[in-house]
Amino acid sequence: MKALISDKPGGPETLELREMVTPVPGQGEVLIAVRAASANFPDTLVIRDLYQFKPPRPFAPGSEVAGVVERVGEGVTRFKEGDRVFALLTQQGGYATHAIAHETGLLPLPGDMPFEEAAAFMMTYGTSYYALKDRAHLQAGESLFISGASGGVGSAAIELGKAMGARVIAGVSSHSKAEFCKQIGADETIVYDTELNKDNSKDLSRQIKTMAGGDGVDVVYDAVGGAYAEPALRALAWEGRFLVVGFPAGIPSIPLNLTLLKSCQIVGVFWGAGVMRDPKSHAKNVEELFALYKDGKIKPRITERFTLKDAAKALEMLEKREATGKIVITMDD
């Protein structure tokens, strides 16, 4: 099989396409002939040893794939050869023509869902639905501000926020990204400065409050972190909820007196751990997400495609925050 391998900590330029021995599935495992894999921001961290989990090297990055079951290991009962599936991989390995997944991490593709959409579906929509539904308890009629709204989880949050009946304000760093967010359903957009100071931070807070109706925004979905977190927190309404989703701009330092003054909540969003701790709730969320997909209310916004040999370019785009929607890796013939 072919795989894009990380041998040592470093950026996308350190990855090498290699011929590898095709793995054999063990007890409870399945071998997937990968048709597509998605690129996600954590992939840029794991190759630098900056993520929560550090898989043993050598490994291929990528934790979200879709394809066809090629072989099943002993004890597998839910899947058979030829089944169309998508999977979340616990030990990476997605940027490859074949990948091993545990049976519990597999789901059958609903209906005729294309492989590319399947590969780009679960991580972003799963994260954003868990955040908005289970952590923020977003209600119809409430307002939602999303930072980094044009990215994978951000664009998923736009669609889900609209499907849940919220007024959605998308925060982005360019006018082209703002246009993308409008096209997928955002009610309002804010183009914030790439460098924040005391003055433009206050202006950002004022813009969010004004667009939310003046009293502040009910929920902040922060997928950026860094200097953008505090002005968004300052824009919260009374008893608002601030969702901590990601830190591509750095881990922020928040003055906690703001939570007292607004009687608001800062809520962590660790979807992967939530899935493991409460699989029944996750299964219900997946069922509801599939229903939204079937009804046409959500659909992965794939804006870039790369072949496996060029997959490092996808991670470069994510690191530079140039991507909108989802980036998909397709396997070479």
pLDDT of 60 reads 96
pLDDT of 333 reads 54
Q: Walk me through the domains of the chain, giving residue ranges and CATH numbers.
A: 2-121+300-330 (3.90.180.10), 123-272 (3.40.50.720)
| pTM listed for this prediction | 0.92
Hey, how many other C-beta atoms are within 10 angstroms of the C-beta on 165? 11
Among candidate residues 151, 115, 91, 88, the one with its CA nearest the CA of residue 301: 151
pLDDT of 332 reads 65
Task: For residue 101, list its beta bridge partners.
Answer: 30
In contact, 106 and 180? CB cutoff 8 Å: no
**Residues 6 or more apart whose Cβ sits within 8 Å of residue 41:** 151, 152, 246, 248, 318
User: Which residue bears the tokens 């860094």?
Assistant: 226
pLDDT of 183 reads 96
- The CA R_g of the chain, rounded to the nearest whole Å, is 20
User: Which residue bears the tokens 């991580």?
Assistant: 123
Q: Rounded distance, CA 119 to CA 27, Å?
A: 24
Structure tokens at 60: 């291929």
Per DSSP, the chain holds a count of helices (H) and strands (E) of 11, 15
Q: Rounded distance, CA 29 to CA 298, Å?
A: 30
Q: Rounded distance, CA 289 to CA 203, Å?
A: 36
Structure tokens at 195: 């460098």
pLDDT of 93 reads 93
Q: Rounded distance, CA 290 to CA 248, Å?
A: 29
First vs last Cα of the chain: how many Å apart?
A: 11
Q: Rounded distance, CA 37 to CA 94, Å?
A: 6
Output 172-176 pairs: Cβ under 8 A, ≥24 positions apart.
172/148, 173/321, 176/324
pLDDT of 65 reads 97
Ranges under pLDDT 70 in the chain: 332-333
